[in-house]
């Protein structure tokens, strides 16, 4: 399945690309955003793109090479290490940073990764296979209380306690090893009247386990703070997020760095670095995009600029 970049044109426009600038795509994925950034750079500009998955990197490199440009560098690392990885390459300031926090379609389409409740595979869910913790470890080793807390905290799962109880009951008989085994447990724990409603009953639990296993929220918070430090004056950060918890982190970090400009036109200076809010309200997909790409339905884009 081809990965379709969400809010592609809007993200590129709001990034306000300078042809000789240095830009960072924090989420390379299928290379959609990266290739569009690269097309707008001349030989003096450079693009750095982060990803930790070999298959995504391979597919994205094919797309980037089709632009005919060579002034890009793919960094195989979690984006939480943006400052450390760029510093290794002699980069201490950049002109723009883009985040597309949605999981790549490739990840859902490869059953061995265990991200999809529609494909049977091992209960892994690691984006980075150097990580030790897997979803299998969580469901088979964590306490009932801790499992329930994870499902509720990271997935807003209303029936987190019932699911956790069913997980613990099942694993006393045999270990839970596959995605379909977990799906069956979740369906068993769900009230029957809820199973007939729209949406897959395992969606929120799978999301919660993936977010927890990969420490996605911790990585985002760390990366955003470092991104603000790395940004040049008039540089922009564009963030596309898909989950309430992600959006709360983005709003909180941006807000604490905003210049407040509501006192008779005079700015009240926040601690450096200082950000200007470019989008007063989040940008959301058009009706046309929603029709063509169902994955975009919960997307929100926020943009800030450094003073």
Rounded to whole angstroms, the Cα distance separating 185 from 178 reads 11
3-state secondary structure of 51: strand
Residues belonging to the chain: 307
Alpha-carbon Rg for the chain in angstroms = 21
Rounded to whole angstroms, the Cα distance separating 37 from 304 reads 18
- pLDDT tens digit sequence for 153-205: 999 999 999 999 999 999 999 999 999 999 999 999 999 998 988 889 999 99
Which residue's entry shows tokens 């499902």?
Answer: 151
User: Is it the case that residue 116 has pLDDT exceeding 60?
Assistant: yes
Q: What's residue 272's pLDDT?
A: 55
Q: What's the average model confidence in pLDDT over 242-267?
A: 78
Rounded to whole angstroms, the Cα distance separating 210 from 3 reads 19
Rounded to whole angstroms, the Cα distance separating 275 from 273 reads 7
Instruction: For the chain, list the domains and their CATH numbers.
Output: 8-106+216-306 (3.40.50.150), 132-213 (1.10.150.170)
User: Could you tell me the pLDDT band of residue 288, with boundaries at 50, 70 and 90?
Assistant: confident
0.75 exceeded by pTM: yes
Element (DSSP H or E) covering residue 301:
strand 300-306
The chain-wide mean pLDDT, for the chain, equals 90
- pLDDT tens digit sequence for 150-161: 999 999 999 999
Rounded to whole angstroms, the Cα distance separating 228 from 251 reads 13
C-alpha closest to that of 60 among 83, 85, 35: 35
Q: What's residue 253's pLDDT?
A: 95
User: Is it the case that residue 4 has pLDDT exceeding 90?
Assistant: no
Q: What's residue 264's pLDDT?
A: 46
Q: What's the average model confidence in pLDDT over 25-35?
A: 94
Rounded to whole angstroms, the Cα distance separating 234 from 95 reads 8
């Amino acid at each position: 399945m081809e990965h379709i970049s969400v809010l592609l044109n809007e993200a590129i426009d709001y990034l306000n690309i300078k042809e000789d600038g240095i830009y960072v795509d924090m989420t390379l994925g299928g290379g959609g955003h990266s290739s569009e950034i690269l097309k707008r750079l001349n030989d003096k500009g450079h693009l750095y793109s982060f990803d930790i998955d070999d298959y995504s990197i391979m597919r994205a490199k094919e797309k980037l090479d089709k632009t005919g440009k060579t002034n890009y560098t793919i960094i195989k690392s979690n984006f939480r290490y943006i400052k450390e990885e760029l510093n290794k390459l002699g980069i201490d300031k950049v002109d723009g940073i883009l985040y597309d926090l949605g999981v790549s379609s490739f990840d859902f389409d490869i059953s061995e990764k265990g991200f999809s409740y529609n494909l049977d595979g091992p209960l892994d869910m690691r984006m980075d296979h150097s990580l030790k913790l897997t979803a299998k470890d969580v469901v088979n080793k964590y306490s009932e209380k801790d499992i329930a807390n994870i499902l509720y905290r990271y997935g807003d799962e209303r029936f987190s306690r019932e699911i956790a109880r069913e997980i613990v009951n099942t694993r006393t008989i045999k270990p839970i090893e596959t995605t379909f085994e977990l799906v069956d447990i979740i369906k068993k724990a769900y009230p029957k009247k809820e199973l007939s409603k729209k949406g897959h009953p395992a969606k929120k639990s799978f999301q919660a386990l993936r977010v927890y296993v990969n420490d996605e929220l911790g990585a985002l918070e760390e990366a955003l703070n470092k991104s603000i430090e790395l940004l040049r004056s008039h540089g922009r950060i564009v963030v596309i997020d898909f989950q309430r918890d992600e959006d709360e982190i983005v709003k909180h970090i941006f807000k604490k760095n905003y210049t407040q400009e509501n006192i008779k036109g005079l700015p009240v200076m926040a601690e450096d670095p200082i950000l200007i809010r470019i989008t007063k309200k989040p940008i959301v997909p058009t009706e046309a995009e929603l029709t063509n790409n169902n994955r975009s339905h919960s997307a929100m884009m926020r943009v800030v600029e450094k003073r």
